[in-house]
Structure 1
Amino acid sequence: MEELARLAGITVRTLRFYRERKLIPPPRREGRIAWYDDHHLARLRTITALLERGHTLNGIAELAEAFDHGRDVADLLGLGAPTEEVPVRLTPEELADRFAGEVTAENLAAAMDLGYVGTDGDEIVHISRRLLEVSAALVREGIPLAEVLAAGRRVREHAEALAELFTDLVTRHAPEDDLHRLRPLAKSVVEAELSMALDRRLNKRP
């Protein structure tokens, strides 16, 4: 416990408090010896980063409890089912390989804050294979992961507004059950408008 606290940059008293609040999973025990590993250290560093970003311990505890008991990240976001997005399970090492040098405690905390990732036992769960692949591709092109995540937050705000617009439109003129059936139409409109907006941007460049 002392070694883990030292590596995480916290006191043993704080570590005990986190354990009591169930913010970290229990250690593996062999007789009287309690073994902690890199997953415990990563969780502690993520807690520190989330606290620095203004999150409360109660909020962090809720996330930790949900992830440790296997609740889907989509449930935490209120997405529910059905969804077209396919979650991806990764080891911490696989996630690090996807974003070489960019998986910092701060970036992991930001991704958790967005609901992109959570932990389930020894694995990390990403909510969307498409978002994971696009994010990794942007990082490979030299765009810092922190900026990719910041852009993702802005995109989500616009996406929520578009979803609200389409939902209101359909519910005013069609049965509520038609929302799922007409969902592809909303996606087609957004994709077409984004495509044309990109064309306009590219045509303005010298």
Structure 2
Amino acid sequence: MEELAEEAGITVRTLRFYRERGLIQPPRREGRIAWYDDHHLARLRTITGLLERGHTLNGIADLAATFDSGRDVAEVLGLGEPSEETPVRLTPEQLADYFQDQATAENLAASMELGYLGIDGDEIVHISRRLLDASSELVRAGVPLDAVLSSGSQVREHADALADLFVRVLRTHTAASDPGQLRTLAHAVVDAELSMALDRRLREDGDPDEPGRPRP
């Protein structure tokens, strides 16, 4: 315990307190000897990093419990299924840097339930660089992360329906079976339709920069 506390830059008293709060896992015991490993050290450094970012010990305890019971990264990413998305590996501190005080246990659990996040050892893996960047931009713009995740759940339902439509139509009426061709055609149609839908909605709502004035 003394060696672990020294490596982590904390006191033995603080380490005992963290153990009592359940912030770190119990050590492996051999007789009267308690063995700590790199996972314990990584967790202690995470706690220190989150405290420096303004998280409370209660909040960190909730995050730790969610982290320990989180979905395995293999379950989230699938077993070698093809994807255009690039996964991102993050420490808990890096995740907190993306979302600040929005990185709560509730939001972490919701992200895992959606399949956005998985746990791989001491790291968190986000399934998509594009989704991670877009989500953090929305949060920085003032949209609460729970609202972003709720919207993501609704978008997922529509995206699944669109994917089913494209696969069914293309495979029924053409001989195309190339996944790359399917993705290209689907992206082109959805991007164009979404762009036109946004134009229609913005015209209906008026220019947000000039309230009450309709867009030309």
Task: Report the equivalent of 2:177.
Answer: 177
Paired AA for residue 193 in structure 1: E
Q: Which residue number in structure 2 is paired with residue 125 of structure 1?
A: 125
The structure-2 alpha-carbon separation of the partners of 1:2 and 1:84, relative to structure 1 and needing over 3 Å to count, comes to same
In the alignment, the residues of structure 1 paired with residue 198 and residue 192 of structure 2 have an alpha-carbon distance, to the nearest angstrom, of 10
- Contact 2:89-2:123 within 8 A present in 1 as well: yes
Is 2:19–2:25's contact at 8 Å kept on the other side of the alignment? Answer: no
Tell me the TM-score normalized by structure 2: 0.68
**Does the CA contact (< 8 Å) of 2:92 and 2:123 recur in 1?**
yes
Q: CA deviation at 1:197?
A: 0.6
TM-fit CA distance, 1:26: 7.5
C-alpha separation in 1, matches of 2:20 and 2:26 = 18
Q: Which runs of 5+ in 2 are unaligned?
A: 1-14, 48-60, 206-211
Partner in structure 1 of residue 81 of structure 2? 81
Secondary structure in 1 matching 2:119: strand
Matches within 5 A, 1:5-154: 6-8=20-22, 27=27, 32-35=33-36, 36=40, 37-38=43-44, 41=61, 42-46=63-67, 63=71, 66-67=72-73, 71=74, 73-75=76-78, 80-154=80-154
Higher deviation after alignment, 171-180 or 139-148:
171-180
Could you tell me how far 1:180 is from its partner in structure 2? 3.3
Q: 1:121 to 1:5 in 2, by over 3 A?
A: same
How many equivalent pairs are there? 171
Q: Which runs of 4+ in 1 moved over 4 A?
A: 1-6, 24-31, 38-41
Tell me, in whole angstroms, the C-alpha distance in 2 between the residues paired with 1:193 and 1:123.
Answer: 38
CA apart distance, 1:174: 2.1
Q: CA RMSD in A?
A: 3.1
Q: Residue 3 of structure 1: CA displacement?
A: 5.0
